Amino acid sequence: MKIFSSTQIHELDKYTIDHEPIKSIDLMERAASRIVAEIRHLCTAYNTIVVFAGPGNNGGDALAVARILASEGLKVKAWLFNTTGRLSADCKTNRDRLTGMKELDSFTMVIDEFDPPTLDASTLVIDGLFGVGLNKPLTGGYASLVKYINASPSKVVSIDMPSGLMSESNEYNVRSNIIRADVTVTIQQPKLSFLFAENQQFIGELKVVDINISKEGMAQVDAHVTILEEDDVRCRIRQRDDFAHKGTMGHALIIAGSRGMAGAAMLATKACLRSGVGKVTVHTPAANIIPLQIGVPEAILDIDPDNCFFTEAVSTDRFQAMGIGPGLGNNENSAITMIGQLRRAQCPIVIDADAINILATHKAWMQQLPAGCILTPHIGEFERLEGASSDSYDRLSKAIILADRQQAYIVLKGHNTAIVTPGGRIMFCPTGNSGMATAGSGDVLTGVITALLARGYAQADACLVGTYLHGLAGDIAAKKFGKESLMASDIIDALPEAFMRVMS
């Protein structure tokens, strides 16, 4: 699913108007009808519906919604804010359609003074002040109105966007001047800012309504941001040949673990084996021999001469992919060995966990990373690597710069994990849940992606397939155990069902 910028949204509206063809006012009416269909059950539960409409097309949508609801016998009071004397053409048309409408309880045009209505628990507020065209924080009377609405006990439905929230970057926004909606009914596609954690307080429950924006037009738009769908993954899954044997299914190398951290190595290795690779060799300190031999008997052990830490690099000549970092620790000898390992590697690489933390404390080493490597940081690891970010958009922007600078793939883990490619493409993963916020979950992802690389997947495909399946396995496990009780090993156990579901 493509995520369009505010500029692209306006272009798509115009393309639809020109090519369907349909008048812009009729497209607005279609949108209003679909919005009403989505919220009608809410509207009938309240004594009064208060509609606040702004001067642009978002306000036009709101006025059309007010008219439809009033014509259905509901008590509707509408306010149109026209403080500058400039309304969009379609907003004017919907204003004229409301004027004198007998079924409407009241209609007030606000030009300067505004006496706010009482908003209580029996009132439903429909917010249509500003939509995707907003590009600066709300101030003055609009900011005061937003604060008044937010302070009320009324339920709030926002049309397309919570007023005050911008569709992309909100780095310099004033968050106290943004509507906190209970429900946001957005048109056609989610907006980029909806995918960021700090904005969830404004969006509430998200509903997406299809208003039949031109599919041809959407297909032609080159959106650099997408949300993965199951079909995106299914078409990339490599089918297993009936005559396959372990020698043809890839040999992966996992470098992981230190004394007391055998679990990280076990999780990454077991996840790698569960993801279809033919063989896995795990290089780990001698202290981890017994746990790994017992816990993952299918793995081949390559033992470091040191009892506690990673101190000797491994030749990668016989491996098709390498994953490095889980449980490695921050020992300086391990750090020096790690950069030597990365320099000499002749296969695709996944860099995770302590390997990223080591790079964060030896930033000059970043320039020695081979092109095409995959880094899988969680937010804390990323910020140690690239510095603190003001918000999710700023963090994503830094990830784009890092991917371009290193010619690397960045898997920025979290809710809506973002996969950033060297070409600046961003793919958000919709699978996964908060139960996966548990120790070892990232180690499992390292194992999955490393296995796919060893199987012969290209880096971009390994990232998106691996991340989607990892999240899907977490969702499957959460249904079985609940989010509170989810453990990383549960995700591994659910990988077979995740693969079968996507491949069916």
pTM, whole model, 2 decimals?
A: 0.95
The edge-to-edge listing of strands for the beta sheet with 48-53 is 106-110, 76-81, 48-53, 123-128, 155-159, 183-187, 205-209
Residues of the chain with CATH 3.40.1190.20: 230-503
Residues of the chain with CATH 3.40.50.10260: 2-222
CA 495 – CA 245 distance, rounded (Å): 21
End-to-end CA distance of the chain: 21
- 321, 328, 224: which is closest to 285 by C-alpha? 328
The answer to whether 448 and 272 are in contact (CB under 8 A) is yes
CATH 3.40.1190.20 fits 230-503, yes or no: yes
Tokens of 43: 């509207």
* CATH of the structural domain 2-222, one choice from 3.40.50.800, 3.30.9.10, 3.40.50.10260, 3.40.50.300: 3.40.50.10260
CA 438 – CA 484 distance, rounded (Å): 10
The answer to whether 391 and 455 are in contact (CB under 8 A) is no
DSSP-assigned letters across all residues of 444-478: HHHHHHHHHHHHT--HHHHHHHHHHHHHHHHHHHH
The answer to whether 255 and 262 are in contact (CB under 8 A) is no
Give the dihedral sign, CA 386/370/257/483: positive
Per-residue pLDDT, 100: 83
CA 5 – CA 470 distance, rounded (Å): 28
Per-residue pLDDT, 153: 98
* pLDDT, tens digit only, all 504 positions of the chain: 999 999 999 999 999 999 999 999 999 999 999 999 999 999 999 999 999 999 999 999 999 999 999 999 999 999 999 999 999 999 999 999 998 899 999 999 999 889 999 999 999 999 999 999 999 999 999 999 999 999 999 999 999 999 999 999 999 999 999 999 999 999 999 999 999 999 999 999 999 999 999 999 999 999 999 999 999 999 999 999 999 999 999 999 999 999 999 999 999 999 999 999 999 999 999 999 999 999 999 999 999 999 999 999 999 999 999 999 999 999 999 999 999 999 999 999 999 999 999 999 999 999 999 999 999 999 999 999 999 999 999 999 999 999 999 999 999 999 999 999 999 999 999 999 999 999 999 999 999 999 999 999 999 999 999 999 999 999 999 999 999 999 999 999 999 999 999 998
